[in-house]
Amino acid sequence: MTSAFTKTRPIVALLLAGACVVPPIVATVLVPTPAQAWRIVYDPSNYAQNVLTAARTLEQINNQIRSLQNEAQMLINQAQNLASLPYSALQTLQANVAQTQALLAQAQNLAFEVGQIDQAFQSEYGAVSLSVSEAQIVADARSRWENTVSGLQDALKVQAGVVGNIDSNRAEMAALVGESQGAEGALQATQAGNQLLALQSQQLSDLIAVISANGRAEALSEAERATAAEQGRVQRERFLTPGTGYQPGNARMFNGN
């Protein structure tokens, strides 16, 4: 029995030695390490491409914002250009023109009418007939003198009215120039310029009225002078025309004896 145990002892020792040398393979395969489970891969080229894409997108957004800002500014400018001028001198200018027209309409005796002028020149400033009586000659001469005096008076009234418009025109001109310089847009500047032209037109109308009134007075004076010369010629011719002379007749004196 001792010899059998002695024979088998080397085999058991060899088996135990092999068991100690071989590692536990199953435990090594079933338990993974944490570094292998959470590994992250970093790609530099992909990251750069993403950054460039984000930059381009931001640039597009900025361009859209600038475009909207430009459109908004354009609308603001259009609104300013279309804004109407809050000041108007039309009422004052129309009042000045109406005043001058009223003064012209007050022309005495011989108005600014073609038909009336023709009629007056045919009746009062025409040729003087030799058959007209002395009384009629004197009456026509007085009528012509009254026309001349009335024309001079009307001219002075028109001149006074036009001079009275100077102050209001000066105030309107200052106001319109101020509105033009402070205009916010093209429409306001244009309207201010148009009103300045209207003011100049009204001033030209006053000037034409003064020239017309003065011309009327001068024409009446010249017409009176020319007719007076014709009247003097007729009276002189009448005086120099031979008459019937002295004709003798019966004279009665002292109670018919």
The tokens describing 80, both together, are 């300013």
Compute the distance between CA of residue 142 and CA of residue 182 in angstroms, rounded to an integer.
60
Question: CA 55 → CA 47, 50, 156, distances in Å?
Answer: 13, 9, 84
**Residue 49 pLDDT grade (very low, low, confident, very high; cuts 50, 70, 90):** confident
Average model confidence (pLDDT) for the chain? 80
pLDDT at 212: 93
More confident residue, 24 or 243: 243
Tell me the C-alpha distance between 151 and 144, whole Å.
Answer: 11
The pLDDT tens digits of the residues spanning 22-31 come to 444 444 444 4
Domain ranges of the chain: 48-81, 90-238
Residue-level pLDDT at 115:
83
Residue 184 identity (one-letter amino acid): E
- Given this model, what pLDDT does residue 123 score? 81
Rounded to a whole number of angstroms, the distance between the first and last alpha carbons of the chain is 241
| CA neighbor of 157 nearest in space, from 101, 84, 90 | 101
For the beta carbon of residue 186, count every other beta carbon within 10 angstroms: 14
**In sequence order, what are the residues at sequence separation of 6 or more whose Cβ sits closer than 8 angstroms to the Cβ of residue 189?**
180, 183
Whose structure tokens read 């007085």?
142
Verdict on whether the full-model pTM lies above 0.95: no
Three-state DSSP state, 219: helix
